[in-house]
Structures are given as structure tokens and as C-alpha cells.
A = this chain, B = another copy of it.
Amino acid sequence: MAGTKFAYVRNFELPDPLLPDVFLVCRLDGHSFHRFSDEHGFVKPNDERALQLMDHAAKSLMSEYNDIVLGFGESDEFSFLLQKRTNLYNRRHAKILTTLTSYFTSCYVFNWPRYFPDTPLRYPPSFDGRIVVYPTEQAVRDYFAWRQADTHINNLYNTVFWALVQQGMQSTTEAHANLRGTVSAMKHEILYSRFNVNYNDLSARFRKGSVVVREEISPPSEPKAQNSSAEKPSRVKKKVKIRTHVEILHCDIIGDEFWGARPNILSQ
């Protein structure tokens, strides 16, 4: 058959397994979102609708792929942690990477009208992705700390910058020049003294980014019948399938509290 003669070309498809027993972090970034946000009139410095759309796509992705145990997003990027022992697609690198990237993109476009009902998409947005392998719990925690520290740095800068431009009537060039070399405390001070803004009163979504987790759903209280059925104790021991629900938080993930409360994220 015709197919057979050409099928040797499959020999060029080389295997690409990811190392077993290490954490996988998949990070997606919006492609040319500077232009995309301009073309679609995103509010500066933060567009609540655009961030909610990103969160929605992340939540959908995690609902579809149970092996993702944590998500963290800011601006036009999102990182996802796959559990150490995941055997998703036999840990084939390209298969995992492209499937997650594609589904996230699809969710973003699919749900656009819900968040931008009056702003039709002018052209199709896209994301690039990469998978980074982390061998230790510490490195995973530091990865997410790195992203959240980045959120803080960027958001503080952007908040002052746009205040100078939008309310201070500076040109963007002037605003950048004024901020050059300023440390964090000085930026807080500019916001407070010139614009009467207390940075810490801003929305936690803007300051902390979005943390997507699976939270356990409290089981409904046990039906009485079961308690009274003392004659079948063995059944009580059956493994209870814990039901979870994907939730979005805007909390600190640099300190220990978040991780201490959710030991499953790293131990699975």
C-alpha cells in the first residue's frame, strides 16, 4: 500500500521523554500582548477583565488536567505545576507542552466575549509555552516566589508610572525618566504624597497575582444510616475519593503559610 513505502519518515520522530520523578512547570506567555492590549483597549496599569479572563482559562485548564496541582498568573503569563509523579501522556515533552498551551489558548478565545462583551476580538491572540524541570521542592517554591516577586515589582512600577501619566499629565518618556533608579519605598511615597494612593489598598489581584489551587470540598454530613450500620465496619475503611474544586486566590505564596496549609501540592 502507498502508505507503507513512505512510512519510514516516522523514524525521524525521536522520543522526547521528560525525566521521571521531577516537578514540571509549564509557563505560558502572551505573544505580543503589548500590541494586543492596546488594540483591545485594556485599562492601564491593570485590566480587571483581562486578568479575570486569564484566570478563567487557567481554571479551565486545571479542571481538565488533574495532574496540574498549582497555577500562578500575572499580567499575560501563567505558570502551572504538574505533580512530580505525573504520567500525563507518558511524560512526552512536546505532547504535554503543546496540549496545555493549545487548550489554554482555546479557553482564552472561547471565553473572551464573557469578559469583553462590548469589545469583539480584532485578531486571534496567541501564547508561547515552555516546560522547565525542577528536581526539588525548594526549587519549585523559589520558582513561584520568583514569579510573585516579579508581579510585585512590575505592578508597583506600572501603578506609579500610569499615575504619573494619567493623573500627573507626564509623557511616558518623562514618567520613565522620573522613575529611573527609584527604590520601592520611593515609589510608595510618590503614590501616597502625589496621588493620595496607599499601594497596599489596591486590589490583591493586582498586587499578588492569581493563585489557582484545588481546594477540598467538604463532604456532606454523613447520612445517619451509615453510622448505625455497625455490622459493616470494613466498608468504612474504603478509600474515600476526595472531591476537589479549583479555586482562585490572591494570597502570598512566598512565605511558608500557603505551602504549610497545602502539603499535597509538593508531596504528590
Residues of A bordering B, CB below 8 Å: 1-3, 5-15, 17, 19-22, 28, 31, 60, 94-95, 97-99, 101-103, 105-111, 121, 123-136, 139, 142-143, 145-146, 149-150, 152-153, 184, 254
Instruction: Name, among A1, A11, A106, A136, the residue most crowded by chain B CB atoms within 10 Å (CB to CB).
Output: A106
Please give me the residue from chain B that is nearest to A19 by CB atom: B133
Name 29 interchain pairs, CB-CB below 8 A, sorted by A: A2-B145, A2-B149, A3-B153, A6-B142, A9-B134, A12-B20, A12-B133, A12-B139, A15-B15, A19-B22, A22-B135, A31-B99, A31-B102, A31-B103, A94-B97, A95-B130, A98-B101, A98-B128, A98-B129, A99-B126, A101-B102, A102-B102, A106-B108, A106-B109, A106-B124, A107-B124, A109-B124, A110-B124, A111-B124
Give min CB distance, A77 to chain B, whole Å: 13
Please report the C-alpha to C-alpha distance between residue A125 and residue B132 in the assembled complex, in whole angstroms.
25
Please give me the residue from chain B that is nearest to A9 by CB atom: B143
Please give me the residue from chain B that is nearest to A11 by CB atom: B20
Number of copies: 4
Give min CB distance, A258 to chain B, whole Å: 15
Please give me the residue from chain B that is nearest to A99 by CB atom: B128
Contact partners of A128 in chain B: CB under 8 A: 94-95, 98-99, 102
Whether A3 lies near B124 (C-beta < 8 A) is: no
